[in-house]
């Protein structure tokens, strides 16, 4: 006896947004200063909400599995 087996890799990609940033947060983010960007991130990190997701699938060609390989 034999059967075919294939490996399927499924990945979910998520996009998450925060609420509107304040003018000060935008200014600090746009500054390019990583320390200031870290501050902004720390302020809003708990406010990210899912806005979109997409499932990606990669399927390999099946391989023949013979009885002694189960």
**pLDDT one-digit tens code per residue, 30-42:** 999 999 999 999 9
Domain range enclosing 32: 2-69
Q: pLDDT band at 55, cuts 50/70/90?
A: very high
Residue 1 confidence (pLDDT) above 70: yes
Domain count, the chain: 1
Q: Would you tell me how many other CB atoms lie within 10 Å of the CB of residue 50?
A: 9
Query: CA-CA distance, 66 to 2, in Å (whole number)?
Result: 4
**Can you tell me which residue has the tokens 């000060």?**
24
**pLDDT one-digit tens code per residue, 3-52:** 999 999 999 999 999 999 999 999 999 999 999 999 999 999 999 999 99
Q: Is 43 helix (H, G, I), strand (E, B) or coil?
A: helix
Residue closest to 50 by CA, chosen among 18, 20, 22, 25: 18
């Amino acid at each position: 006896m034999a059967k075919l087996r294939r490996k399927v890799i499924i990945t979910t990609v998520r996009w998450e947004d925060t609420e509107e940033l304040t003018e000060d947060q935008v200014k600090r983010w746009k500054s390019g200063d990583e320390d200031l960007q870290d501050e902004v991130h720390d302020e809003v990190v708990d406010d990210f909400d899912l806005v979109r997701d997409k499932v990606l699938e990669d399927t390999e060609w099946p391989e023949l599995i013979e009885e002694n390989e189960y």
